Structure 1
Amino acid sequence: MELIQKAKLPKCYDDMATCIKAITKQGTKLSKEECHLLSVAYKNVVGDCRFACRVISSIKQRTDTSDKKLQLIKDYWQKVESELRSICTTALELLDKYLIANATSPETGVFYLKMKGGYFQYLAEVACGENQKQMTDNFQGAYQEAFDISKKEIQSTHPICLGLAVNFSVFYYEIHNHPELACTLAKMAFDEAIAELDTLNEHSYKDSTLIMQLLRDNLTLWTSDSEREECDAAEGAETKPMVSSFFPSINLFTHLHSLFHLDFL
């Protein structure tokens, strides 16, 4: 009880993470409140590192290679990156060793798997090459497992089910460059929820309809993007020369930090 009270201290996220880690390692089932504290604590702790990484990366890109400060910037980047990796590794260990296998309901299992995917996402943001690909695959694997469970065992109007569909469809659109699959997934989730809209209870109505609106907004945006690209391709087919080069690659996970993360349970 003392640990949970410490974990609830307002905005003391480092202490909150330490306390909830100790509670989790006791091996007992986490209450709904403890699950929420776990998610909030680690998301905020790692969020500080992610923000620092983006700021440092921006400064590094604007700094001349001959500038003496560049090495200091690189050293600080490595320090922050190391801290981010440590936080993510700890969170993933808690999820794999204590939480996912012992989930007592489909909703809790999906909640934990969604968190697991999120921490692989954060690791992918600072990775490169094969390591980034591995983290991307791990992210996709966790989300696919969560999605399969939600399809079989959770009502399509449940906020966690809808939030999962938002994240997973954005992943396919932004990272896998698979707009057709992204639209199919988002439309299926939206249509299934619409069909069961009359079963929504008052408690989750606002949350569910908000996420359904996000799904519809994404579908509208993606469909218009696709139509515009097809139109541009048709107009430019006879006038634009073929090129063999490709645009310089960017970090695949530039967009993923804006994914819509909901922690409903």
Structure 2
Amino acid sequence: MSPVRVTPREEYLLLAKVAEEAERYEDLVIQIKGLTQTYGALTIEERNLLSVAYKNITNNLRSSWRIVDSLEKLESARVGSAGYSKHQVVLIRRQRSRIERELADVCKDIVKLLDDCLLSTAEPGEETVFYYKMKGDYYRYLAEFAQQHDRGRFSDLSLAAYKISYKHALALLDPTHPTRLGLALNFAVYYHDVRKSPERACHLGKHAFDEAVACLDEDSSTQVLRDSMMILQLLRDDLVIWSGEMQKESAGNN
């Protein structure tokens, strides 16, 4: 009995899945980059693995940044108290800057991969929406953590990518499509977190939520319906929080 032949593409995919299981996300990135450089366009499974890899790497870095940033603020407030010196704050600030550089490198890396390879081969519809959403997401992260002089530029680049993605989504995807809903959620978060506009965040989020609820189809596949409902729940939770913020601000101005 002759051995089963495994293609190079299957080898890349197998190693990518092993890396995901082992939570070695840098190794997962290497395998998906190899796939991209060798074959160009990615399958849905490969594309999702790419998303998982960068999401986990950046989530860990963003979490680390928040912890160190909080420590820096805490130590800064203690300067002058017994045992606390500016030197401790300087050391913590240096660590925060190192995390910022790592985060910026990762975000710029995925944006470069999108611009150089993936967007040019993307099919119209869900694939194009997915990749431009990713571009908007990672420029959003850059805008959140960048130094003041770079923040506006990254914010504008994020907005441009989200707008292209949303335009394609509105034209080519159903209101209940998980990719369209995920885009609406992240785009609304962009308006809230980066543009500091809960009003625009609520407007975009509520429009997406209402459209989806109006045409939910319980005959859809179980997995698609489950994914859509999960995103709708996240969207509703955010809308409640943002509406509360606007009510507090309005009450404070009266």
Which one of the candidate residues 168, 174, 189 is aligned to 1:155? 174
CA–CA separation in structure 2 for the residues paired with 1:111 and 1:197: 21
SS at match of 2:176: coil
TM-score (normalizing by structure 1): 0.79
Matched, 1:106 2:125: yes
The runs of 4+ residues in structure 1 deviating greater than 4 Å are: none
Partner of 1:5: 14
Aligned mates of 2:242, 2:142 — CA distance in 1? 27
CA distance in 1, matches of 2:221, 2:58: 33
1:23 to 26, 35, 59: 35
Question: Mind listing any 5+ residue stretches in structure 1 that lack a counterpart?
Answer: 235-265
Gaps in structure 2 of 5+ consecutive residues: 1-9
- Out of 143, 151, 168, the residue aligned to residue 162 of structure 2 is 143
**One-letter amino acid of the counterpart of residue 153, structure 1:** L
Deviates more, 1:90-99 or 1:189-198: 189-198
Aligned to 2:205: 186
1:170 to 167, 172, 189: 189
* Contact 2:140–2:190 under 8 Å retained in 1: no
CA distance in 1, matches of 2:57, 2:49: 12
2:161 is paired with a residue of what secondary structure? helix
C-alpha distance in 2 between matches for 1:15 and 1:168 = 29
> Residues 191 and 201 of structure 2 are in contact (CA less than 8 Å); yes or no, is this contact kept in structure 1?
yes
Q: CA deviation at 1:155?
A: 0.6
* 2:238 partner SS: helix
Q: 1:57 aligns with which of 69, 73, 77?
A: 69
Q: Output one character per residue of 1:208-247: Cα deviation in whole Å (capped at 9) or x when no partner.
A: 123223333433443444344434433xxxxxxxxxxxxx
Q: Is the 8 A contact 1:190 1:212 kept in 2?
A: yes
Change (3 A) 1:155 1:131: same
How far residue 71 of structure 1 moved from its aligned partner, in angstroms, is 4.2
One-letter identity of the residue aligned with 1:31:
T
1:45 matched to 2:52? The reply is no
Indicate conservation of the 8 Å contact 2:16/2:27, yes or no.
yes
Instruction: Output one character per residue of 1:10-69: Cα deviation in whole Å (capped at 9) or x when no partner.
Output: 111111111112221224211111101111111212222222222222232333483444
RMSD: 2.3
Once the 2 structures are TM-superposed, how far is the Cα of residue 196 of structure 1 from its aligned partner?
A: 1.7
Of 17, 32, 42, 2:44 maps to 32
Q: Report deviation, 1:205.
A: 1.2
Kindly indicate whether the alpha-carbon contact (under 8 Å) linking 2:40 and 2:121 is maintained by their aligned counterparts in 1: no
Q: Distance in 2 between matches of 1:225 and 1:78?
A: 31
Per the alignment, residue 122 of structure 1 pairs with 141
For 1:7, the aligned partner's letter is A
1:100 Cα offset (Å): 1.2
User: Residue in 2 aligned with 1:215?
Assistant: 235
Q: % of aligned pairs identical?
A: 37
Structure 1 residues 46-55 or 217-226, which shifts more? 217-226
- Displacement of 1:112 in angstroms is 0.9
Distance (whole Å) between structure 1 residues aligned to residue 190 and residue 160 of structure 2: 12
Structure 2 Cα separation of the partners of residues 72 and 227 of structure 1: 40
**Against the structure 1 CA distance between its residues 47 and 184, is the aligned structure 2 distance closer, same or farther, given a 3 Å change threshold?**
closer
Kindly tell me: are residues 83 and 163 of structure 1, through their superposed partners in 2, closer, same or farther at Cα, counting changes over 3 Å?
same
Work out which of the residue numbers 95, 98, 102 in structure 1 matches 2:114: 95
2: CA distance, partners of 1:232 / 1:77: 34
Whether the 8 Å contact between 2:40 and 2:118 is mirrored in structure 1 is no
Q: Compare the two structures and name the one with the higher helix fraction.
A: 2
Cα distance between partner residues in 2 of 1:57 and 1:172: 23
CA distance in 1, matches of 2:241, 2:57: 32
